[in-house]
Amino acid sequence: MKNLLIKNAVIVNRDGRQTGDLLVRDGLIEAIGEGLPAEGCEVIDARGAYLLPGLVDLHCHLRDPGYEYKEDIFSGTRAAAAGGFTSVLCMANTKPVNDCAAITRYIVEKAQAAGYCKVYPYGAVTKGLEGKELAEMGDMREAGAVAFSDDGAPVDNTRLMEAALLYAGRFDGYIAVHPEDRSLTADGVMNRGVTATVLGLPGISRAAEEGPIARDLILAEENRARVHICHISTAGCVDLIRSAKARGVRVTCETTPHYLTLDDTACEGYDVNAKVAPPLRTPADQEALIQGLLDGTIDAIATDHAPHHIDDKVGEFLTAAKGISGFETAFASCYTRLVKGGFLTLEQLVEKMCWNPARIANIPGGELKAGAIADMFLADGEDWTVDAQRFYSKGRNTPLDGKTLSGRVLMTFQDGRIVHQREEF
């Protein structure tokens, strides 16, 4: 493994920034300072670019095994690295479902062979995601699962959810909840509101998301269990979680770049690439989500990277698959909307996309300091145009295609090794 010296960088952590050099030896950060010796090192002149901890994604779909025509671990982790991610947590809704140790090991070993970023699987809560019987969480934990989720299919049975929360707590795990009342979502395809009415499309109410969150917060509170709420999209979700945290409930939560940067008007023109679950909401919901980030109610920003083959997205809005391919636009979307928009500092964005996710998942990463793993990326604040056809991901399904964003990922490093480099850098 080569030693590495990155010079003239603006080194950003959640608690501040400094301009200087960063020295990597044997995959670990050895020193941060000015005028560090370059002898025996590969030297990279950062030219004043930001050097940030590698992004940690609490929620993505790599589709492998079983749906490799949508994405596979190689293409997915390469796309993640291109987006500045060095660690990702992938959901269990594969085929077969990741509900046993053998599938968990397959995912871990294939990701290690790919080598683009670290992959930490979610094990399924229930066998086959059917919501009828708990999966073998202990076996999956030993095989490499860091937490458990039936994301894509909610655990409707309240008694079974309570049992899952208690069981996961035995080995300090947690349940990541997909909040959805399927009796309320029914045939809905977008947010219930003015835009849905104008488009003549069936809507999905906020209650379909907020009701299940209320249930799971009550269960977590009563059983003193850890629960993580996935991809929240409404002001009501923020209020529920804020209140629960004030009562001492052991809850964390995430939102995504698309809920922070897009609203339901993105569906105008019947743009199937804006169809996602939960649906894009309203500007008022966006404002509440941003306030939740600022006051600590929302702990993390995750991608919910959900790549689809073009055949799954073409055709009518009613039948198109739900999901957005998000790895390669996540940092730039958040930098453009939140940092350049004046809502968050870059340090606060590092907290939400690096430090907090690593702490929630109890995995290494999230900071740049002596002795830490050299998982990091270089970025600048320059404008660039999204071209979905150049994505490393197989999923080109993004409503941002052709849009101009700020914040380019220039290079990504895993354990001090270059795993992605922008062509012109």
- The answer to whether residues 385 and 315 belong to one domain is no
- The answer to whether residues 281 and 410 belong to one domain is no
Mean pLDDT of 312-316: 92
> Residue 20 pLDDT more than 80?
yes
C-alpha–C-alpha distance, residues 329 and 208, integer Å: 28
Residue 425 confidence (pLDDT): 79
Mean pLDDT of 42-67: 97
Task: Look up the CATH number of the domain holding residue 172.
Answer: 3.20.20.140
Peptide bond into 283 cis (omega under 30): no
What phi, psi does 315 have (nearest 5°)? 100, -155
pLDDT-based confidence at residue 2 (cuts at 50, 70, 90)? confident
The SS3 assignment for 396 reads coil
Does 71 fall in a domain? yes
The binding site comprises 59, 61-63, 93, 151, 178, 231, 304, 308
- The answer to whether residues 253 and 279 belong to one domain is yes
Domain count, the chain: 2
**Mean of pLDDT over the chain:** 97
- The answer to whether residues 189 and 292 belong to one domain is yes
User: Of 310, 340, 361, at which residue does a domain stop?
Assistant: 361
C-alpha–C-alpha distance, residues 407 and 381, integer Å: 4
Residue 171 confidence (pLDDT): 86
- The answer to whether residues 21 and 150 belong to one domain is no
Peptide bond into 307 cis (omega under 30): no
Q: Which of 345, 400, 346, 356 is nearest to 377 (CA)?
A: 346
Bridge partners (DSSP) listed for residue 29: 24
C-alpha–C-alpha distance, residues 74 and 123, integer Å: 20
Q: What is the pLDDT of residues 144-192, one digit of tens each?
A: 999 999 999 999 999 999 999 999 999 889 999 999 999 999 999 999 9
What residue numbers bound the domain in which 339 lies?
55-361
> Residue 416 pLDDT more than 90?
yes
Tokens 């049992």 found at = 163
Residue 1 confidence (pLDDT): 67
Does 368 fall in a domain? no
Choose, from 216, 263, 304, 375, the residue flagged as catalytic.
Answer: 304
Q: What is the pLDDT of residues 100-139, one digit of tens each?
A: 999 999 999 999 999 999 999 999 999 999 999 999 999 9
Mean pLDDT of 279-285: 98
**Cβ atoms of residues 124 and 97 within 8 Å:** yes
- The answer to whether residues 378 and 355 belong to one domain is no
Burial label for 371, CB within 10 Å (0-12, 13-18, 19+), is exposed
As a whole number of angstroms, the longest Cα–Cα distance in the chain is 66
- The answer to whether residues 46 and 81 belong to one domain is no
Q: What is the pLDDT of residues 334-358, one digit of tens each?
A: 999 999 999 999 999 999 999 999 9
Residue 358 confidence (pLDDT): 98
- The answer to whether residues 281 and 260 belong to one domain is yes
The continuous run of DSSP H or E covering 122 comes out as: strand 118-123
Residue 359 confidence (pLDDT): 98
User: Of 330, 361, 392, at which residue does a domain stop?
Assistant: 361
Residue 248 confidence (pLDDT): 98
Residue 315 confidence (pLDDT): 87
The single-letter code of the amino acid at 305 is H
- The answer to whether residues 100 and 36 belong to one domain is no
Mark whether 15 is an active-site residue.
no
C-alpha–C-alpha distance, residues 162 and 151, integer Å: 16
Residue 246 confidence (pLDDT): 98
Residue ranges of alpha helices (H) inside 298-417 are 310-313, 330-334, 346-350, 356-361
